[in-house]
Structure 1
């Protein structure tokens, strides 16, 4: 048994979990958190990266679940949700059941009632609150991971509303909030009536500094020389970090293009620092990515073969998984990543180099990245169990940048976290949901709620009175709210929009389109409508594309359900939505070729990788679902057409492939090959021999057997992964299978 002393309020079996995880002693911030956790107090833990924040949360979760309670673990990103789900699933040996929940916001997800621990994204947790899921009242502990993201304009308002709402609905539930080191952790703790656990402790020492040509200057102004091997300070800094054969380097760049190009460039140099067996293993690893002709995948295969890799949102989940596992297993020595990797995913390295400390913003093309974000990146340096120290370095491209970087970042303190709830889109969504779910029933209760938020804790509420009044006027004018007996109530429209989890302004756009009486309603008509809503992030027109997109728009003007604006600024936004609709038309094969666009074509036309496409597809499917539900509410008979289009967008197919993709293991690529081989419907497949089906490119005998099993009377089809294995390479990317 563990020799760790547990306070009286901690369940004794927590010590058994520590033993299972091989934990013999606790880090200082972990010990400091035990006492308030044992008393049921709310806790805010502001602790550096890799200093054991997760164990603080897991201890609170275990303590309550072992006593018969339920736990909700809220994270900002799906990737982080999957990581936490895997780790918490290890508690199954204690009889604890863990569920993972994200997406499908129009569902209260009743299956979650039977689980002890639910890991959910912020948006899913907000959706569960809107659906008044009854099991939420049984929650005894709520964990908010990365709570400093209250500062994020996109995710922050939702997280803030969730925490505010839970404190009102279930005030006895314990809140455990995990944060990076920030300037005002005490303010967040004050808002949540929590005890603050603040620590600078790190299990592996971190030395921060500035990388220049030939040297590194550290925070104490000591200088370490770096051998000039290439004449490029970044490359020299990377090679210096891996030259002993045991180090790894993580490099953050601000664009995908530089992320990919730098990885390919370094892959030409790194192999000379690797052994033959390492290169053979990397070659096998590269082969797992399949035989795609897409430029991005070719670059990734080339990079991995040379001991390097890159990581950004354009990769599919499977591709990112391959890269992450290879880096954790120390096969990939150098990983280039965009800053999204710094947001919680656990991939430490001995040396971290921030290549770009500025980024493009609308008002400033070289806007300095906040100190908090840079510190998050640098904090990835130092691998517990592998390194005695970590080095977090920022690249200075010119000598005069040294002083700037030392002052701003190395010696600088992270900024305060500020509420972003005051934005109009956030107020629209959350004020409507408050009324629609009966969390508030009149203006007084609404202001009571707002006064309970982090925004009000930091600011006087009069600062947003004007914004709130404007939002309330909008919601009443557009029919989402109605005044009744001196109180405000949500209409049927308001309730449905809140549960659909869309911006009320999106509902206004959809309603206007459905009422337009367009001459012809086609897939383009419907796709353009959802692409013109604020919930769909559009693809922006590049200068040379304007004529092509504008020409397409006027050629299909009779299909448009939304009037083309005359105002030049509004027209630019309108053209962006047309281009985004054209993206989906390519995806589903509604193009001049009459066939679904390949991975390579999507990348060439739109510079979109598999991960980008999947993200856009998921948003489109959700908005089509919203359009379907609103069309029913408005009495429009369009549900069947919208359902068919939604299926086609989800699977990336023309309508003739719909029957074929109903078969397990058959995605858009295999369905198209079967169709072109003459198997245009299920009956033709049913009457064909296994040998005949197996001759179709990419099918093979095992998949042919799977097809026949499904079409026969009641035989169990083979598992999907067995069908894939027959191909020699795994069809794991979006364009093959989804």
Structure 2
């Protein structure tokens, strides 16, 4: 059955000319009806084409398609793959947290690509102009729907799909690797029997022989890696000797590199004939194409590594050379298993555990393991693929059961029910207890509860929901009315909007209470974020502890556990631009999560305390992002000024945007900037607010017992911005006001003859949305 015969207008959108047997059987349900579809099929059997068929039907009908990719790295891959749709004049737009959203492009896109987390965030804000595009989806393709069973992420996918169906009721097409309980997923998504497909191993293009091999676990984790590596090479070697290829999955980017280097030596020691050193033309091409010296030398010996830290060009070349057979042994992280179709005769999972910066050492997901092993066997080249799990003997039976029986998909919603329930209440979709029950009936949790009532405590569901609601009320996230209605408090709304865990939001609320009774410091902000629940699984390895103590020397951190101290040390190091080498492997992920949390904390402080407190959080956020000194952080507000340029200007005595404006282009050139950069930086500084404080007829003296009301004018001679204006006398707040400063704001100040001999009046102006150091000015009045 040729693609051009079935879909002549979309023939060029597919990477092949003929549909295979599995695709042919699913084709009528996808193209000839509008019913929801659920399809379970072995890895490498061609599931991606089912997604593309559903998308083509939507495009032909003038609709918009949404593709939910299981991880962020794969959204970019889809964008590249689907340039075939772009060539047919259909636009593909990727929406991720790493990219600035262009709402206009998102609205006009024919195909949207998102992760579950980004879709969750967008659907929570569906009634905003920025994210209203999510209510205009005609078909939603869920790639790898068995992600439902993943820790933390599974519940996000589950509630997001339920929410999307309530918002715009798109057609759902859910695809998965083999899963025993495909009927439960079909029941959840209302897919009829004729549109539910369970393609077994007979649809694999190549038979799979899989098994478990053990190693002897020692006292040294570093040495264990090499024990597992030698075991993996033992399994791969017979295939390499027969000109087959092997794909070995390891736990981290660094491990791909180290394993490849060690494997080169071991392969040479075993006298396995591999590599392309005799191919002069390829050697020349390789030298020009690959900058990474370690990768280049490895490829010459037929060995390579692949991870998300390589450039896209390098990853593409490694994949292409593996397909061509130039690379025979490839070490990769798990991302490759979910992404590009890159089969090998032999697949070995060397590491069943990995280190997560936010979770510590965790077990590989069973679904990940099955996905990796599914890459074994090259269609058209191999009759059999071989897949092996290398693990400690204590875990061997667990993996043997997994390979024999597969893995039923379970709901993870119960683990975070309070958080998701709060989000639904905050959006206004739940207003009473009956609404909660109606909402639950739209979830996979409800379907699995009917299948396994005892395991899901289904008979007690209503009582559990009531307890959950009472907990939200007791903690201040939700309030109930006299008519038993349910409504989110401002705390609950902010918690949902900023995607926070409830315990973290409660910590933020405590800091807001403290800030209302007195000023808070940078240390308070950092410690509140470091102890957020989002970091509750961070652990400090023994070799990191001295570095942590060195960063935190002199600080009172006795109340913090080792993981919290590690996060705090990384944030302190990031803010100063000097993270110790021992902490850098985890610093990127922790810092990225922390900037999101500090931004959310700023919104809490803005809502519950005021602009000055929010401005402090904004400055802390900018310091963590840019690693600049506290007095120079305002420079990062200038478009085009990053950490390096900010530090350079600060060393030249230009530490604020005001200093930059005063210096002008010539002064910036004198400070070491090139002509073009100096012009851009000067222009950027001019696009920020700039203040003048006019004290008017402010007295120098006041008689004891007399009062006089004066007027101080705060004038903005730069760009308009929201500001908080605060007046204190002898350090005690007298008045405060919030204003959108376009031109000027008159602030009444009462001058009174008090008991003190001297009164110091200070006007302070802070911008909650900019990392600008507050502008202050003071006047002293003698009391006579």
For this structure pair, what is the TM-score category when the shorter chain's length is used for normalisation? 0.7 to 0.9
1:525 aligns with 2:524: yes
Among candidates 428, 436, 450, match of residue 438 of structure 1: 428
Q: CA deviation at 1:270?
A: 5.8
Structure 1: stretches of 5+ with no match in the other structure? 7-13, 214-230, 290-298, 566-570, 590-595, 695-703, 715-738
Worse-matched range after superposition: 331-340 or 56-65: 331-340
CA distance in 2, matches of 1:239, 1:350: 11
Question: Which residue pairs with 1:542 in the alignment?
Answer: 541
- Go from structure 1 to structure 2 and tell me whether the alpha carbon gap of 1:435 and 1:416 turns closer, same or farther (over 3 Å shift): same
Q: CA deviation at 1:305?
A: 6.7
- Go from structure 1 to structure 2 and tell me whether the alpha carbon gap of 1:691 and 1:379 turns closer, same or farther (over 3 Å shift): farther
Question: Which residue pairs with 2:605 in the alignment?
Answer: 631
Question: Which residue pairs with 1:374 in the alignment?
Answer: 369
CA distance in 2, matches of 1:406, 1:280: 44
Question: Which residue pairs with 1:226 in the alignment?
Answer: none
Question: Which residue pairs with 2:505 in the alignment?
Answer: 507
1:471 aligns with 2:450: no
Q: Secondary structure at the match of 2:18?
A: coil
Quick check: 2:179–2:407 contact (8 Å CA) kept in 1?
A: yes
Among candidates 90, 110, 126, match of residue 96 of structure 1: 90
Q: CA deviation at 1:91?
A: 1.2
- Go from structure 1 to structure 2 and tell me whether the alpha carbon gap of 1:539 and 1:607 turns closer, same or farther (over 3 Å shift): farther
Question: Which residue pairs with 1:710 in the alignment?
Answer: 680
Question: Which residue pairs with 1:481 in the alignment?
Answer: 478
CA distance in 1, matches of 2:600, 2:203: 47
Q: CA deviation at 1:57?
A: 1.0
Q: CA deviation at 1:236?
A: 4.4
Q: CA deviation at 1:164?
A: 1.9
- Go from structure 1 to structure 2 and tell me whether the alpha carbon gap of 1:122 and 1:479 turns closer, same or farther (over 3 Å shift): same
Q: CA deviation at 1:180?
A: 0.6
1:354 aligns with 2:324: no
Q: CA deviation at 1:679?
A: 8.6
Number of positions where the alignment pairs a residue of Structure 1 with one of Structure 2: 635
- Go from structure 1 to structure 2 and tell me whether the alpha carbon gap of 1:273 and 1:401 turns closer, same or farther (over 3 Å shift): farther
Among candidates 52, 62, 65, match of residue 71 of structure 1: 65
Higher strand proportion: 2
Among candidates 680, 684, 687, match of residue 666 of structure 2: 687
Quick check: 1:328–1:347 contact (8 Å CA) kept in 2?
A: no
CA distance in 1, matches of 2:183, 2:330: 35
Q: Secondary structure at the match of 1:638?
A: helix
Question: Which residue pairs with 2:447 in the alignment?
Answer: 457
Q: CA deviation at 1:427?
A: 1.1
Among candidates 373, 381, 406, match of residue 414 of structure 1: 406
Q: Secondary structure at the match of 1:287?
A: coil
Worse-matched range after superposition: 428-437 or 250-259: 250-259
1:87 aligns with 2:81: yes
CA distance in 1, matches of 2:320, 2:340: 11
Question: Which residue pairs with 2:196 in the alignment?
Answer: 196
Among candidates 11, 14, 29, match of residue 21 of structure 1: 14
- Go from structure 1 to structure 2 and tell me whether the alpha carbon gap of 1:647 and 1:682 turns closer, same or farther (over 3 Å shift): same
Q: CA deviation at 1:527?
A: 2.0
Q: CA deviation at 1:540?
A: 1.4
Quick check: 2:622–2:636 contact (8 Å CA) kept in 1?
A: no
1:606 aligns with 2:605: no
TM-score by length of 1: 0.75
Question: Which residue pairs with 2:25 in the alignment?
Answer: 32
State which structure, 1 or 2, has the greater radius of gyration over its C-alpha atoms: 2
Quick check: 1:374–1:409 contact (8 Å CA) kept in 2?
A: no
Q: How does 1:173-192 map to 2 (within 5 A)?
A: 173-192=170-189
Q: Deviations over 1:168-222 (max 9, x none)?
A: 3333x21000101111112211221212122135564143244879xxxxxxxxx
Q: CA deviation at 1:580?
A: 0.3
CA distance in 1, matches of 2:315, 2:441: 45
Question: Which residue pairs with 1:622 in the alignment?
Answer: 596
Question: Which residue pairs with 1:728 in the alignment?
Answer: none
CA distance in 1, matches of 2:606, 2:682: 37
Question: Bigger relative contact order, structure 1 or 2, given CA contacts below 8 A and separation 6+?
Answer: 1
Question: Which residue pairs with 1:640 in the alignment?
Answer: 615
- Go from structure 1 to structure 2 and tell me whether the alpha carbon gap of 1:523 and 1:280 turns closer, same or farther (over 3 Å shift): farther
- Go from structure 1 to structure 2 and tell me whether the alpha carbon gap of 1:405 and 1:137 turns closer, same or farther (over 3 Å shift): closer
TM-score by length of 2: 0.71
Q: How does 1:246-395 map to 2 (within 5 A)?
A: 247-254=244-251, 258-268=255-265, 273-276=274-277, 277=280, 278-279=282-283, 281-284=285-288, 286-288=290-292, 303=298, 307-311=302-306, 316=309, 318-319=310-311, 322-323=314-315, 325-330=317-322, 332-356=327-351, 372-384=367-379, 387-389=381-383, 391-394=385-388
Quick check: 1:205–1:388 contact (8 Å CA) kept in 2?
A: yes
Q: CA deviation at 1:627?
A: 0.5
